[in-house]
A and B are shown apart, each in its own frame.
Chain A
Amino acid sequence: MSDQATNVSTQFDRVPATAAERTVEGRATRQEILDWFEERFGIEPTVFESYTFWERGAGKIWAFNGDLTSPVDIEGLGMTALRTRQEHWKPTLEAVQRFGHHATKNRLHLTAGRAKQFMAGEDQEIDWDGDWGYLIVTHDLAGEPEPIGVGLFTYGELRSMVPKGRRREL
Chain B
Amino acid sequence: MTVLERYEPLIDDVEAFREACERPLPSAVRVNTIKTTVERGKVALDDAGIAYEETDWLPGLLRLPVDQPGANWPYVHGWLHGQEEVSALPATVLDPQPGERVWDACAAPGSKTSQLAALMDDRGLLVATDNNMGRVSALRSNAERLGVTNLALTVEDARNHSLKPFDSEPYDRALVDVPCSCEGTIRKNADVLDEWNYEQVQGTAGVQKGILRRAIQATREGGTVVYSTCTFAPEENEAVLDYVLEAEDCRVVPFEIGLEAAPGVTEWDDDHLDEPMAFDESVTHAKRIYPHLNDTGGFCCAKLEVTG
Contacts and interface: CB of A to CB of B under 8 A. Distances in A.
A66 B43 contact: no
Interface string A106-147: 000000000000010000000000000000000001111010
Contacts of A141: 44, 47, 73-74, 77, 79
A118 to B, nearest CB: 11
B77 A76 contact: no
Nearest to A165: B141
Interface string B277-301: 0000000000000000000000000
B165 A68 contact: yes
A12 B71 CA distance: 34
**Overall SS of chain B's interface:** mixed
A68 B167 contact: yes
Given A94-B144, A143-B43, A165-B141, A74 B35 contact: no
Interface stretch (B16-24, B121-129, B227-235, B259-267): B121-129
Contacts of A142: 36, 40-41, 43-44, 47, 74
Nearest to A11: B165
A168 B79 CA distance: 15
A76 B151 contact: yes
Nearest to B43: A142
Contacts, number: 93
Interface string B110-122: 0000000000001
A142 B47 CA distance: 7
B47 A79 contact: no
Contacts of A146: 77
A89 to B, nearest CB: 18
A5 B201 CA distance: 50
Contacts of B133: 75
Given A76-B140, A77-B153, A141-B73, A69 B44 contact: no
Contacts of A170: 71-73, 76
Contact of A65 (B35, B149, B166): B149
A80 interface: yes
A75 B44 contact: no
A50 B154 CA distance: 22
Which 10 pairs between the two chains have the least Cβ-Cβ distance? A76-B153, A142-B43, A168-B71, A94-B144, A98-B147, A65-B149, A142-B40, A75-B153, A142-B44, A65-B150
Given A63-B149, A72-B152, A170-B76, 9 more contacts: A65-B123, A68-B152, A75-B154, A76-B143, A77-B153, A78-B149, A146-B77, A148-B77, A168-B71
25 contacts: A50-B123, A66-B123, A68-B152, A68-B165, A68-B166, A68-B167, A74-B153, A74-B154, A75-B155, A76-B136, A77-B152, A77-B153, A79-B144, A79-B147, A92-B144, A94-B145, A98-B149, A141-B79, A142-B40, A142-B41, A142-B43, A148-B77, A165-B141, A166-B76, A170-B76
Interface of A: 50-51, 63-66, 68-69, 72-80, 92, 94, 97-98, 119, 141-144, 146, 148, 165-166, 168-170
Interface of B: 35-36, 40-41, 43-44, 47, 71-74, 76-79, 122-125, 133, 136, 140-141, 143-145, 147-155, 165-167
